[in-house]
Chain A
Amino acid sequence: GNSVTQMEGPVTLSEEAFLTINCTYTATGYPSLFWYVQYPGEGLQLLLKATKADDKGSNKGFEATYRKETTSFHLEKGSVQVSDSAVYFCALSDRDTGRRALTFGSGTRLQVQP
């Protein structure tokens, strides 16, 4: 079956620090990969996505590259801000199976201190 593994949180950083959140996956098909962000008290928002190997998704200074050889999709940002404090979920969608739903990782809480 499909699964997504994320690094444990919380991750606590100072403003302007470099961020990496690791994500690896197992999939039976050829998945699309996503990072979703959830701010306190809100729903999930798509942060970025990649649909094939070597694609780089990017948005709001965040980037992640689809690495098929290492089955990874690590999230990075060069300089975090206090407003980036949220929970980040890595997810996959296996388009080659009949299952129509995302498989989520456990989530990583990011706390950015001024």
Chain B
Amino acid sequence: DTEVTQTPKHLVMGMTNKKSLKCEQHMGHRAMYWYKQKAKKPPELMFVYSYEKLSINESVPSRFSPECPNSSLLNLHLHALQPEDSALYLCASSQDRGRGNTGELFFGEGSRLTVL
């Protein structure tokens, strides 16, 4: 069982809708990530939060808005999306940088988004 929980598992939305994807972890990790994965492709990094602050934004369009309310939660707010944004959105978490940190990421099962 994964220790990173993502909701919802499936989401269908229109281009004018506003929706959110949610991610939760209780491993005490202080880094959290959003990845986007298209079919038959590897995950692409979108955002990284470190200690609840945004540390990496991979030039993601502003219709995707991340939020990290606390160290256990990560949200991705969606507004005015396009059909090409349909994909599997993966959340992940990792330990702090430092001694003993191997750099391993722990992934959730993903939220499959369809934009009509």
Category for how many chain B residues contact A: 20 to 34
A36: chain B residues within 8 A (beta carbon) = 107
Residue A17 is within 8 A (CB to CB) of chain B in the complex: no
In this complex, what residue of A is CB-closest to B55? A100
Find out whether the CB atom of B101 lies under 8 angstroms from the CB atom of A44: no
Interface residues of A in 24-72 (CB under 8 A from B): 31-32, 34, 36, 42-46, 49, 51
B42: chain A residues within 8 A (beta carbon) = 89, 104-107
Give the shortest distance, in Å, between A87 (CB) and chain B (any CB). Answer: 8
Category for how many chain A residues contact B: 20 to 34
Residue B86 is within 8 A (CB to CB) of chain A in the complex: no
Find out whether the CB atom of A43 lies under 8 angstroms from the CB atom of B48: no
Name B103's contact: one of A89, A95, A104, A109 (CB within 8 Å): A95
Find out whether the CB atom of B33 lies under 8 angstroms from the CB atom of A101: yes
Give the shortest distance, in Å, between B43 (CB) and chain A (any CB). Answer: 6
Residue B71 is within 8 A (CB to CB) of chain A in the complex: no
**Contacts A100-B50, A101-B56 given; does A43 touch B97 at CB 8 Å:** no
Find out whether the CB atom of A44 lies under 8 angstroms from the CB atom of B107: yes
Q: Chain A residues in contact with chain B, CB under 8 A?
A: 31-32, 34, 36, 42-46, 49, 51, 89, 93-95, 99-102, 104-107, 109
Q: Chain B residues in contact with chain A, CB under 8 A?
A: 2, 6, 31, 33, 40-43, 45, 48, 50, 55-56, 88, 90, 94, 97, 101-110
9 contacts between A and B (CB under 8 A): A43-B88, A44-B43, A95-B103, A101-B105, A102-B103, A102-B105, A104-B42, A105-B42, A107-B40
